[in-house]
Amino acid sequence: YGANYLAEVAREVVGIDLAPGNIPRAAAEYQRPNLRFHHMDATQLNFPNNSFDVVCSFQVIEHIPESLLSRYLSEMSRVLQPSGVCCISTLNLAHNMKPGKPYEKLVYHEKEFTAPELEVLLKRAFPVVEMYGLHLTWTHRVYQRLKKWGLEKIGPAHLNPIARFYQQASPRDFTVSRNLSPAVLYLIALCRKHPAN
């Protein structure tokens, strides 16, 4: 769905996935003339150098084996135009770790990152890295607290304001800033080969 969303504004979008079964499903569900999907390994991209103005990797880097992270990033850099931007997002490990409680990463995650760890890694492949954090709005934080208390389960969902909020949540209920505190839900990095003009 992310590739489909980008295809609303991009001239052309190519989505890739390592799981071959996901390609026909994506192609059947998201049909646009400027959108196509390919079965491909992100550490071995089958595209020529400098193929893309923008390369996006949303919630993927945590699934890449640590031994392949350098190759994964160098491949994205290779297919990116010299003036292009690579956008990478991942969960914020600092947000998920709770003081005084043991933490276990999700079983299908290879490596999770704090903001400083991610920035250091990305700068090995991209000389210019701008780090951002995805935050909940104040209203969203209030509803999240009420949901944690289980209040969204009271009464019918269509009458419960907490349940209704989550049914209608949109990008307006999040903000992006340079603040990288532990409260940040997700880390977002904009990476470039050269400084932006």
Residue pLDDT, tens place only, 96-114:
887 778 888 888 999 999 9
pLDDT of residue 196: 73
Confidence of residue 197 (pLDDT cuts 50, 70, 90): low
Burial of 119 (0-12, 13-18, 19+ CB in 10 A): middle
Kindly tell me if the per-residue pLDDT of 133 is higher than 80: yes
Taking residues 135-153, report their average pLDDT. Answer: 91
Provide the pLDDT for residue 99. 77
Token look-up 């949540």 returns 169
What is the structure's pLDDT at 30?
Answer: 97
User: 117 falls in which pLDDT band (50, 70, 90)?
Assistant: very high
SS (H, E, C) the chain: CHHHHHCCCCCCEEEEECCCCHHHHHHHHCCCCCEEEEECCCCCCCCCCCCEEEEEEECCHHHCCHHHHHHHHHHHHHHEEEEEEEEEEEEEHHHHCCCCCCCCCCCCCCCCECHHHHHHHHCCCCCEEEEEEEEECHHHHHHHHHHHCCHHHCCCCCCCHHHHHHHHCCHHHEEEECCCCCCCCEEEEEEECCCCC
- Average pLDDT of the segment spanning 68-97: 96
Q: What is the pLDDT of residues 8-64, one digit of tens each?
A: 999 999 999 999 999 999 999 999 999 999 999 999 999 999 999 999 999 999 999
Q: How far is the C-alpha of 61 from the C-alpha of 72, rounded, in Å?
A: 8
Mean pLDDT across the chain: 94
pLDDT of 158 over the 90 cut? no
Q: What is the pTM of this model?
A: 0.89
Percent pLDDT > 70 in the chain is 99
